[in-house]
Amino acid sequence: MSQSPAPELFTWEFATDPYPAYAWLREHAPVHRATLPSGVEAWLVTRYGDARQALADQRLSKNPAHHDEPAHAKGKTGIPGERKAELMTHLLNIDPPDHTRLRRLVSKAFTPRRVAEFAPRVQELTDRLIDGFAAKGEADLIHEFAFPLPIYAICDLLGVPREDQDDFRDWAGMMIRHGGGPRGGVARSVKKMRGYLAELIHRKRLEPGDDLISGLIRASDHGEHLTENEAAAMAFILLFAGFETTVNLIGNGVYALLRNPGQRLRLQESLAAGETGLLATGVEELLRYDGPVELATWRFATEPLTLGGQEIRPGDPVLVVLAAADRDPERFAEPDVLDLSRRDNQHLGYGHGIHYCLGAPLARLEGQTALATLLTRLPDLRLGVDPAELRWRGGLIMRGLRTLPVAFTPER
Ligand code: HEM
DSSP 384-405: SS-GGG--B---SSB--BS--E
The residue whose CA has the least distance to atom 1 of ligand 1 is 357
- What are the phi and psi torsion angles at 383 (to 5°)? -65, 135
CA of 71 to the centre of ligand 1 (A): 31
As a whole number of angstroms, the distance between CA 219 and CA 229 comes to 15
Identify the pLDDT of residue 176.
Answer: 73
The pTM of the full predicted model, rounded to 2 decimals, is 0.94
For the residues 17-43, what does the mean pLDDT come to? Answer: 96
CA of 241 to the centre of ligand 1 (A): 5
As a whole number of angstroms, the distance between CA 106 and CA 217 comes to 9
As a whole number of angstroms, the distance between CA 316 and CA 225 comes to 34
Query: Which residue, among 344, 342, 349, 304, has the nearest Cα to 322 in the 3D structure?
Result: 349
Residue type, 345: N
CA of 237 to the centre of ligand 1 (A): 9
Mean pLDDT of the chain: 91
The residue whose CA has the least distance to atom 36 of ligand 1 is 355
CA of 135 to the centre of ligand 1 (A): 34
Residue of 357, 366, 396 to test ligand 1 pocket, by largest number of atoms within 8 Å of CB? 357
Question: What tens digit of pLDDT does each residue of 180-204 get?
Answer: 444 567 788 888 888 899 899 999 9
CA of 357 to the centre of ligand 1 (A): 4
Q: Grade residue 1 by pLDDT with cuts at 50, 70 and 90.
A: very low
The residue whose CA has the least distance to atom 40 of ligand 1 is 357
Higher pLDDT, 37 or 383: 383
Identify the pLDDT of residue 191.
Answer: 84
> Is residue 277's pLDDT more than 60?
yes
The residue whose CA has the least distance to atom 35 of ligand 1 is 355
For the stretch 19-58, what's the b/e string if a residue is b when 16 or more beta carbons lie within 10 angstroms of its beta carbon?
Answer: eebbbbbbeeebbbeeebebebebbbbbbbebbbbbbebe
CA 243, 403, 178, 43 torsion-angle sign? positive
Instruction: With beta carbons less than 8 A apart as the criterion, state whether 190 and 87 touch.
Output: yes
Transcribe 123-180 into DSSP letters. Answer: HHHHHHHHHTTTTTSEEEHIIIIITHHHHHHHHHHHT--GGGHHHHHHHHHHHHHH-S
Distance of CA 35 to the CA centre of its chain: 23
For the residues 306-324, what does the mean pLDDT come to? Answer: 97
As a whole number of angstroms, the distance between CA 279 and CA 288 comes to 14
Question: What tens digit of pLDDT does each residue of 326-376 get?
Answer: 999 999 999 999 999 999 999 999 999 999 999 999 999 999 999 999 999
Strand order in the sheet with 60-61: 31-35, 41-45, 317-320, 299-301, 60-61
CA of 107 to the centre of ligand 1 (A): 13
The residue whose CA has the least distance to atom 15 of ligand 1 is 350
Q: Is 40 left (phi over 0), alpha (psi -120 to 50) or beta?
A: beta
> Is residue 285's pLDDT more than 90?
yes
CA of 209 to the centre of ligand 1 (A): 25
Question: What tens digit of pLDDT does each residue of 138-166 get?
Answer: 999 999 999 999 999 999 999 999 999 99
The residue whose CA has the least distance to atom 5 of ligand 1 is 357
Question: What tens digit of pLDDT does each residue of 107-121 get?
Answer: 999 999 999 999 999
Residue of 245, 246, 248 to test ligand 1 pocket, by largest number of atoms within 8 Å of CB? 245
CA of 242 to the centre of ligand 1 (A): 7
For the stretch 265-274, what's the b/e string if a residue is b when 16 or more beta carbons lie within 10 angstroms of its beta carbon?
Answer: ebbbebbeee
When mean pLDDT is compared across 44-48, 173-177, 266-270, 388-392, the lowest value belongs to 173-177
> Is residue 81's pLDDT more than 60?
no
Q: Grade residue 5 by pLDDT with cuts at 50, 70 and 90.
A: confident
Q: For ligand 1, what atom is nearest to the CA of residue 234?
A: 33
Report the greatest alpha carbon distance in the chain: 69
Identify the pLDDT of residue 3.
Answer: 66
Q: For ligand 1, what atom is nearest to the CA of residue 364?
A: 21
CA of 22 to the centre of ligand 1 (A): 22
- The helix/strand count (H/E) of the chain reads as 16, 10
As a whole number of angstroms, the distance between CA 187 and CA 126 comes to 30
CB atoms inside a 10 Å sphere around CB 6: 12
Question: What tens digit of pLDDT does each residue of 42-75 get?
Answer: 999 999 999 999 999 999 999 988 988 766 566 5
When mean pLDDT is compared across 114-118, 211-215, 237-241, the lowest value belongs to 237-241
Identify the pLDDT of residue 175.
Answer: 77
Identify the pLDDT of residue 186.
Answer: 78
Could you give all domains of the chain from N- to C-terminal order, each with its CATH number?
Answer: 12-78+85-407 (1.10.630.10)
DSSP single-letter state for residue 406: E
For the residues 97-126, what does the mean pLDDT come to? Answer: 94
> Is residue 290's pLDDT more than 70?
yes
- What are the phi and psi torsion angles at 110 (to 5°)? -100, 75
DSSP-H helix ranges across 260-399? 261-272, 277-290, 322-325, 360-377
Q: For ligand 1, what atom is nearest to the CA of residue 106?
A: 33
Identify the pLDDT of residue 391.
Answer: 94
Identify the pLDDT of residue 227.
Answer: 86
CA of 44 to the centre of ligand 1 (A): 20
CA of 347 to the centre of ligand 1 (A): 14
When mean pLDDT is compared across 29-33, 179-183, 217-221, the lowest value belongs to 179-183
Greatest mean pLDDT among 154-163, 238-247, 252-261: 252-261
For the residues 278-286, what does the mean pLDDT come to? Answer: 98
Residue ranges around ligand 1 (CB below 6 Å): 55, 91-92, 103, 154, 237-238, 241-242, 245-246, 249, 287, 291-293, 296-297, 349-351, 355, 357-359, 362-363, 367
Please, which residues bridge with residue 61 across strands?
Answer: 300
Residue of 350, 365, 398 to test ligand 1 pocket, by largest number of atoms within 8 Å of CB? 350
